[in-house]
Amino acid sequence: MKSYVIRQGDYLAKIALRFGIAADEIWKHPKNSELRAKRKPNLLVPGDVLFVPEPARPSLPFRCGTTNRYKADVPKVPVRVTFQVGGKAIANEPYEVEGLAAPQTGESDASGKVTLQVPAHVREVRVRFTKMGMVFPVMIGDMEPIDEPSGVRKRLEHLGYMQGLEMFDADKRLRIALASFQRATGLHVSEEADEATKEALVSAHGS
144-170: pLDDT as tens digits? 889 888 899 988 987 888 888 889 999
Residues 156 and 193 in one domain: yes
Spatial distance between the Cα atoms of 181 and 174, rounded to a whole number of angstroms: 10
Query: Would the pLDDT of 70 be above 80?
Result: no
C-alpha closest to that of 150 among 163, 125, 203, 158: 158
Host H or E run for residue 12: helix 12-19
Q: Are 95 and 135 within one domain? A: yes
Whether pLDDT at 206 is above 80: no
Confidence of residue 180 (pLDDT cuts 50, 70, 90): very high
84 and 128 belong to one structural domain: yes
Identify the domain containing residue 161 by its residue range: 149-205
In the chain, the number of structural domains is 3
